Amino acid sequence: MTVSTITQLQDRVLAALEACGVPTPDGSGELLTRSPLTGEALVPLTRTTLAEAEDAVARAHEAFLEWRDVPAPERGRVVKRWGELLTEHKRDLAILVQAEAGKSMSEAEGEVQEMIDICDFAVGQSRMLYGKTMPSERPGHRLMETWHPLGVVGVISAFNFPVAVYSWNTALALVCGDTVVWKPSEMCALSALGAHQLLARAVAESGAPEDIHQLVLAGRDVGAILVEDPRVALVSATGSTRMGREIGPQVAQRFGRCLLELGGNNAAIVTPSADLDLALRGIVFAAAGTAGQRCTTMRRLIVHESVVDTLTERLVAAYRTLTIGDPRDESVLVGPLINEGSYRAMVDAIEAAVAQGGEVLVGGNRVLAAEMPDAYYMEPTIIRMPTQSEVVREETFAPILYVMTYSDLDEAITLHNDVPQGLSSAIFTTDQAEAEIFLSGAGSDCGIANVNIGTSGAEIGGAFGGEKETGGGRESGSDSWQTYMRRATNTINYSGQLPLAQGVKFL
């Protein structure tokens, strides 16, 4: 890596920030963003102080008192404009995502497309915040439910999807009448600035209250304000199970709401009837894409003993063709791990797997260390495991795929479900009965269960989230909007009489 390479990256980032409308950073500040592409510092930024964060919550709360009374279709116009601006600046924001998260441009642009898609979804949802009318047992009465804005929503997002998952929450929260305070990952502050500035422009152009969206750039100390402040009605947090164990009880103690998207240890079952060509493509992308740093990354592969040798041979051959390096080169498929900590965790997991009886079939080596000593590029790794040992049951946020075998489907499903996490899952089969069993209550215990596709690549229309130690949250599509609202049951008496329910007599 040369000085010119570093300079080119910084220039590209500054140009993208300017295009999104972010004022040029003055070069001072203690929040120092670094790029996993090179390991070098990008742009120093000013950290949000505790007092500023508390003020952000206060301003969001005041704005909520006005925003909640704006008709929902009018609120949708802000999100519609945001989506238009995201479309216009898709490449600019993707450049920031690539620089901070280390993704290929295809994946970075795909992430921004998710933002555009959720804006489209939310605009439609702004006219469909439906309640139900139920039959009353009393004559001359109407029984119904209505949905109302909840309050301030605190969004704590992770580095691996620095803008997409945040937008799932924000687009829906805004059309539901909530305001948002966002604490992004410290590692992706520039992407956050770009997304925030585009939303701020949409707010201004739509004539909405300017404080409906707040951005705070800092670490756990500022995140704690969102967790502890009773004015924050909902905390939506994406991260590790450890983080969820800390946040959940604190929010519950003050009777706030939590939406948790935590760890994933996702698996696919490959049956004897599977189309192996299809399975091969689905497995490689799900296991190696984004350098294994998706919450839906495939980490376990449970293959029938009759096809395991054939499939693993083909997987090993495919892995050997994967191009690894700086994803600014469009021929590169696998980029870097986010930092040294992720690299150490991957190395430790590989060593533990071998100690627990595993055999490394391919990968496991660091590459490009001489050219870029502060960046961490690793070969995606396949390890054949005799059993689902301790290391296999843990989530390692890196491109490691553990391969195990089974003899009958019941055994495969038991093995599949025998982990603490419950996010995403898949089965590759051409047998309809196997597919139906996998999707039934006796099958996968995950929030996402797929047939003949991999574990990653969720669409906006479906609710996203998982069970068990994944936290139970649901974001994005389907009826996820209800998370951001409060429900009221209403009884209207137009009878002129006052009969009591259940036939109770009084007076």
DSSP 438: H
Active site residue 261: yes
Indicate whether 194 and 312 sit together in one domain: no
Give the list of residues 6+ apart from residue 89 with CB closer than 8 angstroms, or none: 19, 20, 194, 198
Q: Looking at residue 458, what is its pLDDT? A: 87
Cα–Cα nearest to 274, from 426, 440, 449? 426
The string of pLDDT tens digits covering residues 411-465 is: 999 999 999 999 999 999 999 999 999 999 999 999 999 999 999 988 999 999 9
Whichever domain contains 371, its CATH number is 3.40.309.10
Looking at 18-32, 320-334, 370-384, 403-417, which range is the least confident one?
18-32
Indicate whether 14 and 94 sit together in one domain: yes
pLDDT level of residue 100 (50, 70, 90 thresholds) = very high
**Does residue 319 lie within any of the structural domains?**
yes
pLDDT level of residue 507 (50, 70, 90 thresholds) = confident
**Does residue 197 lie within any of the structural domains?**
yes
* Set 40, 261, 434, 469: catalytic member: 261
Confidence check: pLDDT of 339 > 70: yes
Give me the mean pLDDT over the 150-174 stretch.
98
**Does residue 212 lie within any of the structural domains?**
yes
pLDDT level of residue 328 (50, 70, 90 thresholds) = very high
Helix then strand count (H, E) for the chain reads 14, 23
The string of pLDDT tens digits covering residues 20-76 is: 999 988 878 888 889 999 999 999 999 999 999 999 999 999 999 999 999 999 999
Q: In this structure, what token pair is assigned to residue 86? A: 């995201």
pTM given for the model:
0.96
Indicate whether 105 and 143 sit together in one domain: yes
Indicate whether 293 and 415 sit together in one domain: yes
Average pLDDT, the chain: 96
First to last CA, the chain: 87
Q: In this structure, what token pair is assigned to residue 476? A: 């994005």
Alpha carbons 36 and 21: distance in angstroms, whole number:
24
Give me the mean pLDDT over the 202-225 stretch.
95
**Does residue 392 lie within any of the structural domains?**
yes
Q: Looking at residue 4, what is its pLDDT? A: 44
Indicate whether 56 and 130 sit together in one domain: yes
The boundaries of the domain holding residue 23 are 3-262+471-487
Instruction: Provide the percentage of residues in the chain whose pLDDT is more than 90.
Output: 94
Whichever domain contains 232, its CATH number is 3.40.605.10
Looking at the 3D structure of the chain, how many domains does it have? 2
Indicate whether 235 and 312 sit together in one domain: no
Starting at the earlier edge strand, list the strands of the sheet with 133-134. 133-134, 141-149, 485-493
Q: Looking at residue 303, what is its pLDDT? A: 98
Cα–Cα nearest to 104, from 340, 250, 289, 338? 289
**Does residue 499 lie within any of the structural domains?**
no
Indicate whether 345 and 426 sit together in one domain: yes
Alpha carbons 401 and 350: distance in angstroms, whole number:
10
Say which amino acid occupies 396. T
**Does residue 502 lie within any of the structural domains?**
no
Indicate whether 209 and 270 sit together in one domain: no
pLDDT level of residue 6 (50, 70, 90 thresholds) = low
Indicate whether 20 and 111 sit together in one domain: yes
Q: Looking at residue 2, what is its pLDDT? A: 41
For 252, left (φ over 0), alpha (ψ -120 to 50), or beta?
alpha
Indicate whether 248 and 336 sit together in one domain: no
**Does residue 505 lie within any of the structural domains?**
no
**Does residue 302 lie within any of the structural domains?**
yes
The string of pLDDT tens digits covering residues 249-303 is: 999 999 999 999 999 999 999 999 999 999 999 999 999 999 999 999 999 999 9
Indicate whether 257 and 275 sit together in one domain: no
pLDDT level of residue 1 (50, 70, 90 thresholds) = very low
Q: In this structure, what token pair is assigned to residue 308? A: 């395991």
Alpha carbons 126 and 136: distance in angstroms, whole number:
28
Give me the mean pLDDT over the 315-342 stretch.
97
The string of pLDDT tens digits covering residues 217-255 is: 998 888 999 999 999 999 999 999 999 999 999 999 999
Q: Looking at residue 5, what is its pLDDT? A: 57
